Amino acid sequence: MEINKRPHSMKEYHLKDKEYYKGMNQKLFNLIEPHAQAILEVGCAEGLFGAAVKEKINCSYYGIESYPPAAEKAAHHIDEVITGDIETLKLPFQQNTFDYLIFGDVLEHLKDPWAVLRNLKPYIKETGSILSSIPNISHISIFESLLSGKWTYTQAGLLDKTHFRFFTLQEMKKMFHETGYKISKIEPIPFTTHYYEKMIRELAHVRASIGIFHTGFEEEARSYQYIIRAEKR
């Protein structure tokens, strides 16, 4: 099915490495429980995540993908794929259809993720959940870049040039709360090195000297992204 293709250029998505569309977030995958009967993944890429879910449980799996070449491949792996922009699509589903709505590194690619979360809320069952992974812009690597006078966009990662939005942990929580959800689980996915750990220790002294006492700073600086599960309020 093809509805409302994304209106802006797909050039940047075409330039991405082929592996970009083959991602499999294991921690997100582990949150899917066997009771699920219907799942919708926004940004399903080539459908490999969905294919793995369908091997794990017997469910109907639907995907939305804005990049047509990836959507064509996804159609071979999951039950149905809609090619289009989730920010403009009119979805052909009934309310209270899905046990899970999945956003695997997708919300940051949207111009208005707040509107999307609100608009999709009616399609989630009362017992259903949103599962999402979101990059953390307060990771220590970003501090390193800023201290070096850089904010260099890349083809993938925290400064992916196709990202429209950037979130800290606090702003992730705020986004879900403002759009009518309650968060039931937050799991950090850390990435650090000896060099980054040295930076974190040094920044602790700087923060103390100027009176900034954010107790979660060190954990957040180590967290490359967060896995979040949320339910309707």
Average pLDDT, stretch 187-213?
A: 96
Continuous segment of H or E residues that includes residue 70: helix 68-74
Q: By C-alpha distance, which of 102, 51, 103 is closest to 79?
A: 51
Three-state SS at 36: coil
Q: Is the pLDDT of residue 5 over 50?
A: no
> Residue 106: which pLDDT band, with cuts at 50, 70 and 90?
very high
Residue type present at position 168: T
Domain ranges of the chain: 11-136+160-190+225-232
Burial class (CB in 10 A: 0-12, 13-18, 19+), 199: middle
HSE at residue 101, side-chain half, CA atoms within 13 A, is 27
Average pLDDT, stretch 114-142?
A: 98
Computed over every residue of the chain, the mean pLDDT equals: 92
Q: Write the CATH number of the domain with boundaries 11-136+160-190+225-232.
A: 3.40.50.150
Average pLDDT, stretch 132-157?
A: 97
pLDDT tens for 47-94 read 999 999 999 999 999 999 999 999 999 999 999 999 999 999 999 999
CB contact set of 86 (below 8 Å; sequence gap of 6+): 42, 43, 64, 66, 110, 116, 120
Q: How much is the pTM?
A: 0.89
Q: Is the pLDDT of residue 223 over 60?
A: yes
Q: Which is it for strands 223-232 and 181-190: parallel, antiparallel or unpaired?
A: antiparallel
- Please tell me which residue, 7 or 219, carries the higher pLDDT value: 219
> Residue 3: which pLDDT band, with cuts at 50, 70 and 90?
very low
